[in-house]
Amino acid sequence: MADLSTEDQKLVTLARATRARTNAAEGAAVRDLDGRTYAGATVALPSLGVSALDVCVAMAIASGSRGLEAAVVLTSASDAPSLAAASEFAGTGVPVHVGDVRGAIEKTLAT
């Protein structure tokens, strides 16, 4: 996490703790334009499936956020996470740090 800012390292900690607490496939955390953070985990029910990042985006929108500064997604999946909702909400250029479930960041994407 040496390449991440202190604020982005906090997002890693939040995403890792949320994923571990729920034993979900993914954990995510976002920071909005006001500095507020939202953490979430994958929802995988027979009647509802939502990615961890989409949970965070929905929480930010429901809380009145105007956009995002950064996001972290921790996952065991080899596929890149979908950034569609984050891009629609926050626009282009928002960094999305993607790492494994232990919190080791492997790449940074952008909305």
Report yes or no on whether pTM surpasses 0.85.
yes
pLDDT single digits (tens) 20-55? 999 999 999 999 999 999 999 999 999 999 999 999
CA distance 68 to 57: 9
- Token pair recorded at residue 87: 């891009």
Contact 37, 14 (CB under 8 A): yes
Residues in the chain: 111
pLDDT in tens, 63-94: 999 999 999 999 998 888 999 999 999 999 99
Q: Indicate whether 2 pLDDT > 60.
A: no
Instruction: Give 3 or 87, the one with higher predicted confidence.
Output: 87
* Helix 6-22 and helix 52-62, axial crossing angle in degrees, nearest 10: 110
CB 32 within 8 A of CB 69: yes
Q: What is the DSSP string of the chain?
A: -TTS-HHHHHHHHHHHHHHHHHT-SEEEEEEETTS-EEEEE-EEETTEEE-HHHHHHHHHHHTT---EEEEEEEES-SSPPP-HHHHHHH-S--EEEEE-TT--EEEEEE-
- The residue type found at 66 is R
